[in-house]
Amino acid sequence: MSDSQFEREVLQRLLFDLLLVTDGRTTDILETLLNEKVRVEVIRQEQIANEDINLLGESSGGPYYIRESILVGEKSGLVVSHNIALVYSKHVPKALYESLTHRQEGIGKAINSLGVRTFRKVLDSGFMNRTDTIDLFQRPVTINFANSDQQLPYKRYYIYFGRSPGIQMLEYYHPNLISHRLEQELKKE
């Protein structure tokens, strides 16, 4: 392994470590790493059954919604993250809840545009084999990132609106995100 390749791998690991531990808006970091805006594409959004909520050990009242989406680079078309959100409607401000049900924008952008105060608590993060990826109910989920058989960086966290978590998020990130950006920078030179 050359010094240059080693340095790239160290840089990539460092940047992913920052992404995985942040309790701020992940979308901002993804856009900075990609060097372009991202758009949300909702894969599915639906009210979920009480049996599923029981799997989580939750009983704060409903309804509960699951939203699965991807973030895609507007210019490159690169899928940078696969996101699964469980929305506890009882603990989400009404204006935000309505914005989310219209599927127009990412959760972080909706929170920011409405000026809603939040804090985030990272529950778990790391790297996972593609064959081991799961959803918030511990069921297998298929994550389709093109041209990658590497371990997937992921982060699971709560978004709080006051004392109670209103949204639980699980995000998987494209493992080639950093190398994609580095390749773009090298092409400029």
* 11-27 pLDDT tens trace: 667 777 777 766 567 88
> pTM to 2 decimals?
0.86
Q: Identify the pLDDT of residue 18.
A: 74
Judge contact between 37 and 17, C-beta under 8 A: no
Q: Which residues of 126-162 are buried (b: 16+ CB within 10 A; e: fewer)?
A: eeeebeebeebeeeeeebebeeeeeebbbbbbbbbbe
Mind listing the pLDDT tens digit for each residue in 60-99? 566 888 999 999 999 999 999 999 999 988 899 988 888 8
pLDDT value of position 48: 84
Torsion of CA 57, 133, 47, 165, to 10 degrees: 50
d(CA 99, CA 103): 7
For residue 167, the model assigns a pLDDT of 93
Q: How far apart are CA 21 and CA 153, in angstroms?
A: 11
Is the pLDDT reported for residue 146 higher than 80? no
The span from the CA of 138 to the CA of 59, in Å, is 18
At residue 58, the pLDDT reads 57
Judged against a pLDDT cut of 90, whether residue 103 lies above it is answered with no
Residue 114: the pLDDT is 85
116 closest CA partner among 138, 91, 82: 91
pLDDT at residue 6 in the model: 64
CA angle (71, 75, 79) in 5-degree steps = 30
